[in-house]
Amino acid sequence: MASKKVMVGMSGGVDSSVAAALLLEKGYDVIGVTMHMWEDPTTEDVREDACCSLSAVEDARRVANKLKIPHYVLNFKDIFKKTIVDYFIDEYLKGRTPNPCIACNKFIKFGIFIEKALSMNIDYVATGHYARIVYDNDKERYLLKKALTKEKDQSYVLYNIKKENLSRVLFPIGDYDKNEVRNLAKKYELPVATKPDSQEICFIQDNDYAGFINRIAKENIKPGYFVDTKGNILGEHKGIINYTIGQRKGLGISFGKPMYVVRIDSKNNQVVLGDAEDLFSTELIAEDVNFLSIDSLEEPLKVNAKIRYSAKESPATIYPLEEGKVKVIFEQPQRAITPGQSVVFYDGDIVVGGGIIS
Amino acid sequence: MEKTIYFDHAATTPVRPEVLEAMLPFFTEKFGNPSTIYSYGRESKKYIEDARDKVAKALGAQSKEIFFTGSGTEADNWAIKGVAYANRKKGNHIITTSIEHHAVLHTCNFLEKEGFEVTYLPVDKDGLVDPEQVREAIKPETILISVMFANNEIGTIQPISEIGKIAKEKGIIFHTDAVQAVGSVNVNVEELNVDLLSLSAHKFYGPKGVGALYIRRGTKITSFMHGGAQERGKRASTENVPGIVGLGKAIELATANIEGNAKYVKRLRDRIIDEVLNTIPYVRLNGHREKRLPGNINFSFEFIEGESLLLLLDMKGIAASSGSACTSGSLDPSHVLLAIGLPHEIAHGSLRITLGPDNTDEEVDYFLSVLPEIVGRLREMSPLYEAVKNKNKSKK
């Protein structure tokens, strides 16, 4: 029997390079693909570090050559601009704080990339994410689970893979930790073994997201007022895109006591400031919800919920609402629940589902 | 992969064994710097001048009008920037077309930032430039017209001689990028009425990294590289002797049997064009049916992305392309296909096949046997195609 074909998304980094090597070792017919997603039209600088830069393509190609697997570059620039970059800017203009990696996983890496692979008779797609997909015999379904090593777990950003696609996705490094992956890279003599991790949003340079939005959507950014929770004007802000919930530094005014951004009111172009305790809340509404371990939410369910990538999970109960929305009530107040970020529900290691905080 | 078939001769060609043989001594025993006076150097110099004679002969030019460069792109850059800067006092207007190679287009974009004004002429649905539109675009400030000889994506051959006549009449310098044409079709600078012409060795079985610019004597142009006295001081830097010798040999061989090769390649080309147009629905041939390079085929397959098509062909061992490849190897909708009026989604689904005299009927047979299946498979996955099929069914 011919071996199963898998297309592995290769960013030129250590994780996806090792993923490709592991698949090869397991006997798959591996095809390397680098997704070409973004070129900043407003800068002439050459980007070195991001996963969508040319040097990423070259690194991935070098790894593919080393592994003796074919390597292709697929152009996803149009769809990336539409579903990620434009969305990212829109969200900020609406006073929300988006997570572009989650959108990218939904629309690109586990969206169009899977479609492309299927159209070319490829059985699986794989990426270098730290997460696991396992078949559960009792539930008779594929489950998305956390990586074995919790420190690096990336299941949070993967909750909106469509459930029918779980059977087509492989996460070869989900059983390893970062050190093991680096050691594997050395063992396989991959030319990227010592490459640093990328931490930033791939299409934004120097982490300066506000500068980026300013360059692209300048005309939509207007100064407005900082107000307190009662609506009293406290001062002038530089445009709501510059602020995020929970922010304390960089407000440009001193108040004699610590003040935090507690809400962004895009309709009135106002940034609401309050005390630390004003940041805490026990409930939220999630929209654009995707469930993985259940078909749909019919009755309240106890879960552990996580409100941002770096947040700790916290016990909560989720309740079904109309139009597929979900209400989440935490047992303990959560700090800085931020519209636009995702809330992800867990049952132990299993990702139950998640949605975007409204 | 059982076999590999090379169908991308417009991208590059292999160095012919005779060319390689001619080049080899210049890496080792004949290594002298041509600018020196001792025998090593004199010998190198002699071979460079031989190569220059061969290029001149192939183009119907004089030897001293041939200047070697590092590539076709360099020749284009030199021609355009060199004329623009040397004639700045006379005017700042340049006329070119919307379907030029990026070596020309991006150079013109650069000059726009430098204060020059550029008119990008449109083309018709076959990719042809209308010489009358060139005439109408001429202004008192016009200092340069640059129109490519044959397009690298769709193969359309332009009425260069007619445009040259107009330029001559108006006393405007005329450049043609003939990178795709030289070695495939007859190119004569006198018949074409051109003042500048770019060519590149690796497109006609010569080595990469060497090209040439024909500069008609008396043409006002600045030097491109500043340094020593090489290339009569206009393009300084120690000559790429093996490359230049290879270019000379390659152009000699290519032009020796140009008619025979063109006839042979054209027959293979027409086999593919006719069969594909007859057997696969929703296909369009891009470029002019007759006025095109003998080896060029460019199809658009509706409801399909060129990218997937190329990958599947590659998996079957067929090396083809989708027009111009960018540095990353990924594909953008082609500016040429957009210029001939193709909608964005169809401009994404093109397949360029460029044949050479080393291709065979058996290779064409194999290609024609695998293509319908690949196109069919990709269309099966396309929701757009599904919709069209259903519409057609309901009509019946």
Nearest to A54 among B314, B327, B332 (CB): B327
Q: CB distance from A94 to chain B under 8 Å?
A: no
CB-closest option in B331, B378, B382 to A75: B331
Task: Report pLDDT for A88.
Answer: 95
Nearest-CA distance A73 → chain B (Å): 5
Query: In angstroms, rounded to a whole number, what is the distance separating the alpha carbons of residues A269 and B260?
Result: 73
Tell me the three-class secondary structure of chain A, residue by residue. Answer: CCCCEEEEECCCCHHHHHHHHHHHHCCCEEEEEEEECCCCCCCCCCCCCCCCCHHHHHHHHHHHHHHCCCEEEEECHHHHHHHHHHHHHHHHHCCCCCCHHHHHHHHHHHHHHHHHHHHCCCCEEECCCCEEEEEECCCCEEEEEECCCHHHCCHHHHCCCCHHHHHHEECCCCCCCHHHHHHHHHHCCCCCCCCCCCCCCCCCHHHCHHHHHHHHHHHHCCCEEEEECCCCEEEEECCHHHCCCCCCCCCCCCCCCCCEEEEEECCCCEEEEECHHHHEEEEEEEEEEEECCCCCCCCCEEEEEECCCCCCCEEEEEEECHHHCEEEEEEEEEECCCECEEEEEEECCEEEEEEEEC
Find chain A residues with C-beta within 8 A of B378's C-beta: 119-120
Q: What percent of chain B has pLDDT over 70?
A: 96
pLDDT in tens, B40-79: 888 889 999 999 999 999 999 999 999 999 999 999 999 9
Q: What is the pLDDT of residue A78?
A: 85
Contact A57 B381 (CB under 8 A): no
Asked if the model's pLDDT at residue A96 lies above 80, the reply is yes
pLDDT at residue A2, rounded to an integer: 75
pLDDT tens digit string along B162-212? 999 999 999 999 999 999 999 999 999 999 999 999 999 999 999 999 999
Q: Do A73 and B378 touch (CB under 8 A)?
A: no
Segment of B79-88, B300-309, B332-341, B377-386 carrying the highest mean pLDDT: B79-88
Of B89, B326, B391, B395, which one is the catalytic site residue?
A: B326
- Determine the pLDDT at residue B268: 98
Closest chain B residue to A32 measured between Cα atoms?
Answer: B311
- For chain B, say whether A75 makes contact (Cβ under 8 Å): yes
Out of B311, B328, B332, the one facing A57 most closely (by C-beta) is B328
Check CB contact under 8 Å for B331 and A70. no
Q: How many CB pairs under 8 A join A and B?
A: 39
Is the pLDDT at A49 greater than 50? The verdict is no
CA quadruple A100, A152, A7, A124: dihedral positive or negative? negative
Mean pLDDT score, A294-312: 96
Ramachandran area for residue A246 (φ above 0: left; ψ -120 to 50: alpha; else beta): left
- Cα angle for residues A75, A77, A83 (degrees, 5° grid): 130
Cα angle A13, A14, A15 (rounded to 5 degrees) comes to 95
Cross-chain residue pair B307–A75, CB shorter than 8 Å: yes
Contacts of A115 in chain B (CB under 8 A): 381
- Inter-chain residue contact B377 with A119, CB threshold 8 Å: yes
Question: What's the mean pLDDT when you consider all of chain A?
Answer: 91
The pLDDT, as a whole number, for residue A213 is 92
CB distance A54–B328 less than 8 Å?
A: yes
Residue B318 in contact with partner chain A when CB distance is under 8 A = no
Q: Which residue has the higher pLDDT, A252 or A290?
A: A290
> Does the structure show a pLDDT above 80 at A194?
no
Does residue A104 have an active-site annotation?
yes
Q: A253 — contact with chain B (CB < 8 Å)?
A: no
Cβ neighbours of B109 in A, within 8 Å: none
Non-local (6+) Cβ contacts of A98 within 8 A are A87, A88, A91, A92, A340, A341
Contact B350, B272 (CB under 8 A): no
Residues 6+ apart with CB under 8 A from B178: B148, B149, B150, B187, B197, B198, B199
Q: What local confidence, expressed as pLDDT, does residue B36 receive?
A: 85
Residue scoring higher pLDDT (A15 or B396): A15
pLDDT at B370 over 90: yes
> Quick one: CA torsion of B336, B341, B346, B347, rounded to 10 degrees?
10
Q: What is the ipTM of this complex?
A: 0.74
Q: Is B108 known to be catalytic?
A: no
User: pLDDT by residue (tens digit) across B273-299?
Assistant: 999 999 999 999 999 999 999 999 999
The helix-helix angle for B241-256 and B258-279 (nearest 10°) equals: 70
Contact B330 A75 (CB under 8 A): yes
pLDDT for the residue numbered A110 = 97
pLDDT > 90: what percent of chain A? 76
Q: Does A72 touch chain B (CB under 8 A)?
A: yes
Residues of B in contact with A120 (CB under 8 A): 308, 311-312, 315, 378
Sheet holding A224-228, edge to edge: A233-237, A224-228, A270-274, A260-265
Residue A256: predicted pLDDT: 83
Chain B residues with CB under 8 Å of A52 CB are: none
The answer to whether the CB of B304 falls within 8 A of the CB of B379 is yes
CA distance B133 to B123: 10
| A5 φ/ψ angles, rounded to the nearest 5 degrees | -95, 135
pLDDT given at position A41: 59
pLDDT, one tens digit per residue, over A230-280 is 999 999 999 999 999 999 988 888 888 899 999 999 999 999 999 999 999
Please say if the pLDDT value at position B395 is more than 70: no
Q: Mean pLDDT, to the nearest integer, of A175-180? A: 93
**Interface subset of A 117-156, CB within 8 angstroms of B:** 118-121
pLDDT for position A52: 47
pLDDT at B327 over 70: no
Write down the H helix ranges in chain B: 17-23, 39-59, 72-86, 102-113, 131-137, 160-170, 189-192, 241-256, 258-279, 306-315, 335-339, 344-347, 361-380, 383-395
Pick from A44, A74, A119 the residue to mutate for testing the B interface (most B CBs within 10 Å): A119
Residue A199: predicted pLDDT: 66
- Res A42: pLDDT: 56
Confidence of residue B393 (pLDDT cuts 50, 70, 90): confident
Residues B134 and B163: beta-carbon distance below 8 Å: yes
pTM here is 0.83
Instruction: Compare all CA atoms of chain A with the CA of B379 and give the residue at the minimum distance.
Output: A119
* pLDDT score, position A204: 84
Cβ distance A351 to A166 under 8 Å? no
Q: Which of B54, B94, B86, B96 is nearest to B254 (CA)?
A: B54
B328 touches chain A (CB under 8 A): yes
Query: Is the Cβ–Cβ distance between B210 and B203 less than 8 Å?
Result: no
Residue B383: both structure tokens together: 């929701």
What mean pLDDT comes out for the span B134-142?
Answer: 98
Q: Which residues of B365-392 are buried (b: 16+ CB within 10 A; e: fewer)?
A: ebbeebbeebbebbbebbeebeebeeee
**A73 vs B contacts (CB less than 8 Å):** 328-330
For tokens 């993923």, name the residue.
A19
- pLDDT above 90: residue A23: yes
CA gap A52, A19 in Å, rounded: 18
